[in-house]
Amino acid sequence: MTDLAVLLQPTPAPNGRTGRDDVLAAIRGNTSLRPPVDPGLSGGLREWLEDGLCSLPFERDTELVVTKQTLRSEGRKDSESITPAIAIGALIDALFRQYVTIGHIEDPMEDGLASLELDPRRSAIVRFVRRLGGSTLHQFRDELETQTAILVGRWPRLSPAWMPRTHEPVAVPLAGGNVVLVGVIDLVIGSPSSGQASVGLVEAKSGQPRLEDRDDLRFYALLETLRSGAPPFRVATFYTRTGQVDAEDVYDELLASCVMRVLGALRRHLGH
């Protein structure tokens, strides 16, 4: 097992630039290209969704919740069984929130489990991890510590002026409350818009990059636009296996394509 005292120290990058600088630059993007906010965009997207939902049958007083899992291609559902990869992902989520909030991780396993134990919905994952033993536990702990070291070594300290908010829930009711678009965003940064796009959305992922990761963030960009009336300027995924960032600017066409994905998923769900 690796030595935590050494592992959890940030490592400088060559050429006088740190890995944290690179991550920060990727999240910020080109600030001069941030677009002005179209005051009619959010309302237009909402009307498009409402018009599309009008033709779909909803049972009275029944709430249909749409999440990022609902929109996955071909209706594929994530496995409900707990695996080491799923448990690592849950612990990394908790450790990412902790590091963004207080800037310190002492023991990745115990810190992560202590956070998950506060949420009854995570009790099965806590039990799964607590029951690991032998070489399986050794490999699990080593992977968690390695990814935590990458998080600590490359994630930048955010200025308080960025107003970082972790584990941010968003819910957007539509069709008189019969449909609710729901998401929980790992990190939201930036102050509310004052005429120019000013909010960024970040997800932390412990696994290999997937096409769905971008789709998930585009869905969250739509939720933020509908909720606040202004789109985010940029969305990004931070991968703790490599310390790399996949980021893209948010533009009108991206949001429009997400509206079509939402309506398409609902038509499939309702058999239309």
pTM for the whole structure: 0.88
The structural domain count of the chain equals 2
- pLDDT band at residue 272 using 50, 70 and 90 as cut-offs: low
Q: Count CA atoms closer than 13 A to 259's CA, side-chain side.
A: 21
Question: 7 lies in a domain?
Answer: no
pLDDT over 50 (residue 142):
yes
Q: Are residues 92 and 222 in the same domain?
A: no
- Whether 13 is covered by a domain: the verdict is no
Residue 144 forms part of a structural domain: yes
Residue predicted with more confidence, 30 or 151:
151
Same domain? 147 vs 178: no
Same domain, 184 and 108: no
Same domain membership, residue 86 and residue 33:
no
Same domain for 186 and 100: no
Q: What region does 152 belong to: left with phi over 0, alpha with psi -120 to 50, or beta?
A: alpha
Q: Are 167 and 237 members of one domain?
A: yes
**Domain end point (choices 131, 154, 177):** 154
Look up residue 256 and give its two tokens.
């429009």
Does residue 9 fall inside a structural domain?
no
More confident: 32 or 163: 163
Please determine, for residue 185, whether its predicted confidence score (pLDDT) is greater than 60. yes
Q: Are 149 and 97 in contact (CB under 8 A)?
A: no
Does some domain include residue 2? no
Of 139, 154, 169, which residue is a domain's last?
154
Question: Residues 55-87: pLDDT tens digits?
Answer: 887 776 778 899 999 888 544 554 568 999 999
SS3 189: strand
pLDDT for residue 202 is more than 70 = yes
Angle between helices 84-102 and 123-130 (to 10 degrees): 110
Range scoring the smallest mean pLDDT among 41-50, 96-105, 191-200 = 191-200
- 141 and 198 share one domain: no
Q: Is residue 11 part of a domain?
A: no
Instruction: Return the CATH number at 242.
Output: 3.90.320
Same domain for 142 and 261, yes or no, is no
- Asked if 78 contacts 212 with a C-beta cutoff of 8 angstroms, the reply is no
pLDDT of residue 5: 40
Residue 222 maps to a domain:
yes
Q: Which residues contact 232 (CB under 8 A, 6 or more apart)?
A: 190, 197, 199, 200, 201, 221, 224, 225, 250
Q: Are residues 134 and 117 in the same domain?
A: yes
Of residues 74 and 229, more confidence is placed in 229
Q: Are residues 213 and 252 in the same domain?
A: yes
Domain boundary among 107, 125, 154: 154
37 plus 172 within the same structural domain = yes
Is residue 160 classed exposed, middle or buried when 0-12, 13-18 and 19+ CB atoms within 10 A define those classes?
exposed
Residue 3 lies in a domain: no
Whether residue 83 sits in one domain with residue 184: no
Q: Is pLDDT above 60 for 213?
A: yes
Whether 184 shows a pLDDT value over 80: the answer reads yes
Q: Which structural domain range is residue 218 located in?
A: 21-76+159-269
What is the tens place of the pLDDT at every residue in 101-125? 999 999 999 999 999 999 999 999 9
Cβ atoms of 147 and 241 closer than 8 Å: yes
Token look-up 């290999």 returns: 208
